[in-house]
């Protein structure tokens, strides 16, 4: 069930959400996590809950997510490693 929102309600919710996300993300970003990765986390969480709302249990949904991510990693072209230069020999 969706409620009809007034413009004022929408603005309050948006502002509150911005504050919450800034505070939630701050510490992860300090550890080097990017905004894009954090946004991707939120999308993943939303997808998991949508699947659970279809009647699936958490374990099954996470298993599917694992398989998806593993598949994406396997599909990525592997970068060729540049061989390391030999260490200089001390004379």
- Residues near another protein (CB under 8 A): 1-5, 8-10, 12-17, 19-21, 23-24, 27-28, 31, 33, 38, 41-46, 48-49, 52-53, 55, 57-59, 62, 65-66, 69
Measured CA to CA, the distance from residue 88 to residue 8 in angstroms comes to 68
Measured CA to CA, the distance from residue 42 to residue 48 in angstroms comes to 10
CA dist 58 → 37, 44, 45, 54, 70 (Å): 22, 13, 11, 11, 18
Which of residues 35 and 66 has its CB atom nearest to another protein in the complex?
66
Least distance (Å) from another protein to the CB of residue 87? 32
Site of tokens 């504050």: 19
Least distance (Å) from another protein to the CB of residue 78? 19
Which of residues 52 and 86 has its CB atom nearest to another protein in the complex?
52
Which of residues 32 and 86 has its CB atom nearest to another protein in the complex?
32
């Amino acid at each position: 069930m969706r409620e009809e929102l007034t413009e004022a309600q929408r603005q309050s919710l948006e502002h509150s959400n911005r504050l919450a996300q800034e505070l939630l993300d701050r510490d992860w970003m300090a550890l080097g996590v990017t905004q894009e990765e954090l946004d991707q986390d939120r999308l993943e969480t939303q997808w998991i809950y949508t699947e659970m709302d279809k009647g699936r249990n958490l374990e099954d949904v996470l298993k599917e997510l694992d398989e998806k991510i593993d598949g994406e990693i396997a599909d990525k072209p592997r970068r060729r490693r540049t061989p390391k230069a030999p260490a200089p020999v001390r004379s």
